[in-house]
Amino acid sequence: MPPGWTVILQTEDEVEDDERRSSKVAVNTSADHEEAGHKHTVAHRFTKPTIRSDSLFISSISMPSSSDFKNTASPTRHIAMMLWATLCWYFHKEPPNPHVLTEASALTPEAGRPKLDWRIRIKREGIFKGKNTLQKLERMGLIASEDSCVGTDPSTRFPSGWAETFVSRKSFWQIDARIFLYTMAPQSHSPFPSASPYPSRPSSPDRAVPERGSPRPTDYITNAAISDTFSSGFWSPGGPFNSGSHLPTFYPPPPTQFTFTNHIRHPIRPKPPRQGESFYTRYIPSLGQWLSFRVPTLSPKPCPPPQFVPASSSMPAVLPSHTAAVSIATLPTMDNFLDRPSDLDLLHKWMNDPRVSAAWGAAGPLNTQHKFLVDGLESRHSFPVYGCWDGKPFGYFEIYWVKEDRLGRLLGGEVGNYTRGLHVLIGEDEFRGPHRVKVWLSALVHYCFLADCRTETVMLEPRVDNTKFINYLKEAGFYKQGEVTFPHKQSAVMKIDRESWEAPEL
């Protein structure tokens, strides 16, 4: 077997006793509940997600060959990584209908019936039957239980209160993946580079070739010329999940310390990503493209885009299997990379577009945009961002802390210490449209909620006459709190709260 793990995923329904007797599917019940009229749980083969009836557990693990990779130092972290990856696959499925039929809502139209959060139950079976496995996963924040009492059961092997753990879609998308994702350490004589593991199995085992415990490293080696070019510029080696220790790369936010800016007391802010660093990358199944956000650079050379997939003949094998229309032709190559403009040239082009200039007022010669970008890079409460589709920049954004921003001064004491704000600009007409707005807007909000778990609100302040964009914001879950008056414009205060945010657009 190639490296991986086996997941048992099923849908369970409660049925009356007479329905259970007529059912041909497996039934999970106990002798204590055989009385007539009692409800029993019937397990079905999983076909599509349900709002609360799905459950899973990991039944077995197939580790890579010990001749290639060292055994994991923390089995629990390894289990958490596999569970996170499984949940990522599950929550990319088509969401189920959230409305539920109850006795009280039987006469209510479906659109007005009660709604439930989408959850999947984690069963204490398979490898999750370990003495403290579920407890550790709960401490990591990956699973939850509504039974929050100590309990009276003295058993340490199978303590009560852990039979009903679950993961909700809302909580899954708000927890940083860097807590769980990491790379395996290769053996000293292993042919694999130290920066590997690879993101996917390349293919099924080939019986025609000698058996081998792990995929061949030559299947994943990137073109040397591209690697050299990328490493010479502003690049993020190995991505956000890479570390020399081969341990998870997430660290919790530090304790709050305060300082003053323009007589406003606010927390000391963490350093933003460096020039050229891609700090958010996600595949968008509905568009068949990769969305990424990075910090622009002042370099006169084009910034290398993220290398989303291995640049080898096996590239299509590691792309999601449900995306036949994925835009492989637009993925970065040496040919189209060298023809691309620098970040400053792009900003000059965008700011001199009459549509953009009317809103931003930064048109002019190249040195105007140079000063604009320098000011953004030197700001202590915000940083500039380029959004990219398949590595091609399509827009300019600013992510800022509202408290010490001019918006915060106008709002007064209503602003939280960790409230984030966004400024947005779409420069490329080919990437405009309502669906793309939903995707990149929800991704920016997603980043803000991941970057600091204390951020409860994200805000925008579009001009009040920009009704088209305000409607886009409302469709994405934002609501209008009021209006503020700037010297140069009247703005609507648009907000979205963590509590009401569900998931990024897929």
Q: If you search the block for the tokens 């899954």, which residue do you land on?
A: 172
User: Per-residue pLDDT for 502 more than 90?
Assistant: yes
**How high is the mean pLDDT of the chain?**
81
DSSP 316-349: GGGS-TT-TT--GGGS--HHHHHTSPPHHHHHHH
Tell me the per-residue pLDDT of 242-297, one tens digit each, with 9 for 90 and over: 666 667 777 788 899 999 998 999 999 999 999 999 999 999 999 999 999 999 99
- Catalytic residue check, 138: no
User: Per-residue pLDDT for 12 more than 60?
Assistant: yes
Q: What is the average pLDDT across 21-32?
A: 49
Closest CA to 236 of 331, 306, 309, 311: 306
pLDDT at 151: 76
What is the Cα–Cα distance from 74 to 53, expressed in whole angstroms? Answer: 31
Give CATH for domain 259-500.
3.40.630.30
Tell me the per-residue pLDDT of 397-406, one tens digit each, with 9 for 90 and over: 999 999 999 9
- Residues 461, 475, 483, 499: which is the catalytic one? 461
Domain residue spans in the chain? 4-99+112-148+158-179, 259-500
Distances (CA, A) of 142 to 93, 133, 158: 19, 12, 20
DSSP helix/strand/coil, 450: helix
The residue with greater pLDDT, 353 or 334, is 353
Tell me the per-residue pLDDT of 176-209, one tens digit each, with 9 for 90 and over: 998 888 877 777 766 655 544 444 443 444 444 4
For the chain, give the percent of residues with pLDDT over 70. 75
pLDDT at 158: 63
Q: What is the pTM of this model?
A: 0.80
User: Per-residue pLDDT for 134 more than 60?
Assistant: yes
Sheet with strand 4-15: strands edge to edge: 27-28, 40-45, 4-15, 54-62, 119-122, 165-168, 144-145
* DSSP for residue 487: S
User: Per-residue pLDDT for 93 more than 50?
Assistant: yes
Q: Are 116 and 109 in contact (CB under 8 A)?
A: no
User: Per-residue pLDDT for 143 more than 70?
Assistant: yes
pLDDT at 22: 52
